[in-house]
Amino acid sequence: MDSDHLNVPTINFEVSFPEVQAHYIDVKMSIKKLNQPYVDLKMPVWSPGSYLIREYAKNVERFKPVDANGNPIPFSKISKNTWRVTTDALDQIDVHYSVYGFEVSVRTNFFDSDHAFIVPTATFLHIEGYLNVPSTIVIVPKETWKSISTGLERLTQHTFHAPNFDVLYDSPIEVGNQDIWKFHAAGVEHECAMVGGGSYDKERLTTDITRIVEEETRIWGSNPNKRYVIITHNYQSGGGGLEHLNSTVLGASRNAYRNEHSYKTYLSLVAHEYFHLWNVKRLRPKALGPFDYDGENYTTGLWIMEGVTSYYDNLIIKRCGFYDEKEYLSLLANDFNIILNRPGHEIQSAAASSFDTWIKYYRPDENAINSAISYYNKGAMLTALLDIKVIAATDGKIKLDDILRAAYEEFFLKLDRGFEEKEFQSLAERIAGTSLDDIFQAAHQDGELDYNAYFNLVGYEIVDTNEDNDTLTLGITTNKADGVISVATVEKGTGAYDAGLNVRDELIAINNIRLDLKDKEIDFIIQHATDGEILNFLIARDGLIREIPVQIRKNNKKIHEIRPLKDQTFLQELLGKIWMA
């Protein structure tokens, strides 16, 4: 239904915290100008940017619609995330409900006596057919809570406005006593909100984030926001991030800011999520907006969105001077190590990984190493080749920066729509003046390209420094818990896989030597074995004792290094400097 319709309802929310210590918040949804016999109220089943059906409606309790006089109104639940409320001729109803939130992540509600992190997709209902209507959100914080951080437009101290539900659902809200400071970068006001304390240095973070913001704005040509909010949840141990239209939510370890390595990792996370302002939130495949909040939104293009972003996050940190060339190349090589050391890379392409993210990436099981890869890492690998090929094809006059900026201007600023993958490829080829079909085809096929055919163009090479290593492996990882050693994963192509060792097998003895939880007999036995030797495993499977002979084999794990060629031509050296600039 069109939001310009004469009978468009007005929607107001009020959020309060009477039982927040028990991980509940109370929500009141007030609807006026109904003029229909019933309304279907729906809650999204997922959050954009996190491609998994999360069934947020499971945490809705005490659902109670009432009329203007407080009298109960009949309702029924007609699907897992839909409540049908009978309104007849009523002009106004209030819907009261509670939401439970106690899952720590950047995409789920978490409420306790210290603060409330509100994920709108997991909190606010919408009227089916009226996603385009505006709403106001009133936050009634605990008396001891002083701060509210969100990308929503603030009308008063506790009242916020969303022009439509796409904006509301993309604007997380932090309520509590978070540490807040503001600064301007690239002409945009930025707010940092630190939750949970930490060893951070505000002045240093402000300076360093400013450099990241200005470099990314330079790449894209303009910054789409007037205001941007960075909410960081600091835990004893934490990580992860989720992009939003004009904000991001990050996870970090509260004492990690003192360590240079982990501090740079945090900056890289900031660079990654901020890059998404353009790449995903605005420049996007057609499937990623407008959204269907009731089910999966399939696309094979996540390798472009997340892969390009994963390539650029560390590259931006290098451009800002936080990483030197050696550090950056080591991080890029790690993407190759992660993918090429997973047997799954032989059977799942980057595009298939993108499409199947709904059932695989966020739901890894014990066999994931053998059956799947990450479109983040594989996408970053392909993006590196894309950048290199464009640089080489244009003698350094064009970089991937230029293609991204042109795509942003074409598909978002000019056409205001998502793109088909072929459209993106065609635009990139037009600007680069060469075919890029090898790379785009590789994204949809199993197997690997000749990576050095690309790296050599800019005077670099990728080598496996572990190629001649003679270490041995069984092909398993183990868990030690509840007084037993058990198999956690079994890698395809190894002796354990071929012999039939299973995940959850309890390992009792090897070659009649009893295994001890406190020692490392397995490692010791491997170190003193020979290639091809048969080890006799005594195991318990589902309570039954059996023996399984396992052949120990050479460890074929790869340890890649990307380094300059010893003998570079003048052109290779020149193009390499442009790539690394």
* Per-residue exposure over 255-274, b if at least 16 CB sit within 10 Å of its own CB, e if not: ebbeeeeebbbbbbbbbbbb
CA distance 379 to 309: 9
pLDDT band at 390 (very low <50, low <70, confident <90, very high): very high
In the predicted model, what is the mean pLDDT of residues 205-226?
98
**Phi, psi angle pair for 158, to nearest 5°:** -120, 5
Average pLDDT over residues 109-118: 98
Separation between Cα atoms, residue 540 and residue 396, nearest integer Å:
61
The tokens for 67 are: 């009329």
Percent of the chain with pLDDT over 70: 99
Count of CA atoms in the C-beta half-sphere (13 A) of 5:
15
Band of pLDDT at residue 3, cut at 50, 70 and 90: very low
- pLDDT exceeds 70 at position 102: yes
Is the omega angle on the peptide bond into residue 163 within 30 degrees of 0, that is, cis? no
Taking the alpha carbons of 299, 303, 305, 306 in that order, is the dihedral positive or negative?
A: positive
Sheet strands side by side (includes 241-243): 179-185, 188-195, 227-235, 247-253, 241-243
172: nearest Cα among 268, 91, 221, 106: 106
Question: Judging by beta carbons within 10 Å of its beta carbon (0-12, 13-18, 19+), is residue 37 exposed, middle or buried?
Answer: exposed
Strand 147-150 with 173-176, pairing: antiparallel
CA nearest to 458, candidates 380, 510, 507, 400 = 400
pLDDT class for 5, splitting at 50, 70, 90?
very low
62-99: b (≥16 Cβ within 10 Å) or e = ebebeeeeeeebebeeeeebbbbbebeebeebbbebbb
Q: And the tokens for 191?
A: 């707010």
Residues in the chain: 581
Average pLDDT, the chain: 96
Structure tokens at 167: 């904006």
Instruction: Give, in degrees to the nearest 5, the angle at Cα 281 between 278 and 283.
Output: 55
pLDDT in tens, 38-65: 999 999 999 999 999 999 999 999 999 9
Half-sphere exposure of 27 (CA within 13 A, CB side): 28
CA-atom Rg of the chain in angstroms = 27
The CATH code that applies to domain 472-554 is 2.30.42.10
DSSP 429: H
Q: Residue 2 pLDDT > 70, yes or no?
A: no
Res 521: pLDDT: 81
User: Taking the alpha carbons of 529, 531, 533, 539 in that order, is the dihedral positive or negative?
Assistant: positive
What Cα–Cα distance (Å) separates residue 484 from each residue in 4, 204, 475, 518, 542? 65, 47, 19, 11, 13
Side by side, the strands of the sheet bearing 116-118 are: 110-111, 116-118, 173-176, 147-150
- Domain locations in the chain? 10-177, 180-442, 472-554
How many helices, marked H, and strands, marked E, lie in the chain? 15, 30
Q: pLDDT, tens digit, for every residue of 297-353?
A: 999 999 999 999 999 999 999 999 999 999 999 999 999 999 999 999 999 999 999
* Domain 10-177, architecture per CATH: Sandwich (2.60)
Q: Right CATH number for 180-442 from 3.40.605.10, 3.40.50.1220, 2.60.120.260, 1.10.390.10?
A: 1.10.390.10
pLDDT confidence of 1, banded at 50, 70, 90?
A: very low
Q: Rounded to an integer, what distance in angstroms lies between the CA atom of residue 358 and that of residue 363? A: 8
Q: Is the dihedral of CA 182, 186, 188, 193 positive or negative?
A: negative
Whole-model pTM: value is 0.95
Classify the C-alpha dihedral 269-273-278-284 as positive or negative. Answer: positive
pLDDT tens readout for residues 430-447: 999 999 999 999 999 988
Residue 143 phi, psi dihedral angles, 5° rounding: -60, -30
